[in-house]
């Protein structure tokens, strides 16, 4: 029986400016790709696809990773139900660039600059960035 699976592909490259994100998203169109960075700023892509079992899902994910021509550092594959249970709990709330700017008390452009330099973690979902709410510390009142 075919079920949906998710893969998190971590590439052995860092690109804080997000210059390669669009290429990855274009290459993996059709697999609901979203890019982001891990805690060490390695480029990651998250994809979804059907497979008959975990072994087949791993082979598919590895083949899709190869399409990017980027060196793979790590590959995690799991059923979508497990992926959702791990990644969409209450602690993973994300905010938009505008919301982050309001929380931080800075301009939207300043948030984008922090994303570009890697000072602020963000995930590119299609053409927009989302930022983990937990990464935002509002300025102290003074």
Number of neighbours of residue 36 by Cβ within 10 angstroms: 21
More confident residue, 136 or 74: 74
Q: How far apart are CA 81 and CA 102, in angstroms?
A: 34
Q: How many CA atoms lie within 13 Å of 108's alpha carbon, on the beta-carbon side? A: 8
Q: Give the model's pLDDT for residue 8.
A: 96
Closest of 77, 68, 9, 5 to residue 43, by C-alpha: 9
Q: Which range (1-5, 56-60, 128-132) has the least confidence?
A: 128-132
The string of pLDDT tens digits covering residues 16-30 is 777 899 999 999 999
Q: Give the model's pLDDT for residue 35.
A: 92
Q: Give the model's pLDDT for residue 140.
A: 65
Q: Give the model's pLDDT for residue 38.
A: 83
More confident residue, 57 or 126: 57
**Contact yes or no for 122/113 (Cβ under 8 A):** no
**Hey, is 36 helix, strand or coil?**
strand
Q: Give the model's pLDDT for residue 31.
A: 97
Q: Give the model's pLDDT for residue 80.
A: 92
Closest of 125, 101, 124, 103 to residue 114, by C-alpha: 101
Rounded (10°) angle between helices 108-117 and 97-104: 100
The string of pLDDT tens digits covering residues 46-64 is 999 999 999 999 999 999 9
Q: Give the model's pLDDT for residue 119.
A: 86
């Amino acid at each position: 029986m075919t079920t949906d699976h998710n893969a998190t592909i971590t590439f052995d490259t860092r690109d804080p400016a997000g210059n390669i994100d669009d290429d990855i998203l274009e290459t993996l169109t059709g697999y609901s790709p979203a890019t982001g960075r891990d805690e060490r700023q390695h480029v990651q892509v998250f994809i979804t696809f059907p497979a008959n079992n975990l072994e087949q899902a791993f082979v598919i994910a590895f083949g899709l990773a190869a399409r990017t021509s980027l060196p793979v550092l790590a590959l995690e594959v799991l059923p979508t139900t497990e992926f959702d249970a791990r990644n969409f709990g209450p602690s993973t709330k994300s905010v938009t660039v505008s919301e982050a700017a309001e929380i931080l008390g800075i301009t939207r452009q300043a948030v984008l600059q922090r994303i570009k330099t890697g000072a602020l973690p963000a995930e590119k979902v299609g053409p927009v960035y989302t930022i983990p709410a937990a990464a935002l510390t509002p300025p102290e009142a003074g």
